[in-house]
């Protein structure tokens, strides 16, 4: 296996591992960001997850070990903000926070859509915390995610973008309820709402072409 393939495999391995860690923690009523920001020890949870990961995906576990050498190094990375703050996240293109009770796949439904909030990199961490916390408290929609410091070849903008998802783009009352709460969090500039229908069709903003379904 050449170096490029090894790096690609490690990227896939880390993505699956972090998803498994998030799921394992949430099954116990915990959140990674709360553990990290609260200075709480989650070594046992991390070791448990890595053991499970190794049992289910032995080849991917080896790829992770090849990149990080030890679970302790993964712990140190997470404790420093990987997967918690956009500015500290370099292993993943996105940080995702689902609302409690919302299935992760809900954001891929064709009926879903999202408000798009663009932020300069130095303002993204604070903005993300507001959106993340409101999502967990069920004050916003079904999920939210934010782009990170990992260079993304598909990015069209140097700014960070936060997506705030709602379950059904046709439920205008709910879509606008979420928008009003975002305003209460300080996001008062006009922003656009894009349906998954346009995203799945590969339609993006171009001169003279409107791809936002709502604007408020």
pLDDT of residue 205: 53
Backbone angles phi, psi at 34, to 5 degrees: -70, -40
Q: How far is it, in rounded angstroms, from Cα 59 to Cα 120?
A: 38
CB 106 within 8 A of CB 112: yes
Mean pLDDT of 62-67: 93
Say whether pLDDT at 207 is over 80. no
Which range among 144-153, 172-181, 185-194, 196-205 shows the weakest confidence by mean pLDDT? 196-205
Compute the half-sphere exposure of residue 188: CA atoms within 13 Å on the CB side of its CA. Answer: 2
Dist. CA 75–CA 54, nearest whole Å: 16
Compute the average pLDDT of residues 45-51.
Answer: 96
Cα separation, 184 vs 193, in Å, equals 17
d(CA 21, CA 26): 9
pTM here is 0.91
What pLDDT score does 210 carry?
A: 61
Q: Which positions ≥6 away from 152 have C-beta within 8 Å?
A: 93
Average of per-residue pLDDT across 147-166: 92
With pLDDT > 90 as the criterion, what percentage of the chain qualifies? 82
Token pair 């370099």 is found at 90
Does 153 score more than 70 pLDDT?
Answer: yes
């Amino acid at each position: 296996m050449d170096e490029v393939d090894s790096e690609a495999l490690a990227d896939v391995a880390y993505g699956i591992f972090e998803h498994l860690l998030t799921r394992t923690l949430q099954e116990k009523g915990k959140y990674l960001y709360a553990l990290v920001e609260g200075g709480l020890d989650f070594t046992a949870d991390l070791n448990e997850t890595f053991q499970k990961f190794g049992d289910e995906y032995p080849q991917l576990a080896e790829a992770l070990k090849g990149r990080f050498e030890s679970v302790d190094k993964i712990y140190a990375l997470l404790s420093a903000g990987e997967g918690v703050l956009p500015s500290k996240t370099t292993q993943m293109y996105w940080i995702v926070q689902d609302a409690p009770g919302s299935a992760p796949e809900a954001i891929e439904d064709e009926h879903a859509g999202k408000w798009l909030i663009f932020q300069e990199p130095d303002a993204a961490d604070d903005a993300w915390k507001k959106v993340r916390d409101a999502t967990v408290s069920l004050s916003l929609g079904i999920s939210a995610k934010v782009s990170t410091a990992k260079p993304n070849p598909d990015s069209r903008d140097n700014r960070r973008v936060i997506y705030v998802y709602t379950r059904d783009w046709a439920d205008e009352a709910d879509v606008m309820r979420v928008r009003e709460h975002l305003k209460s969090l300080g996001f008062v500039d006009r922003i656009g709402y894009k349906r998954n229908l346009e995203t799945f069709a590969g339609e993006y903003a171009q001169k003279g072409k409107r791809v936002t379904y709502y604007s408020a």
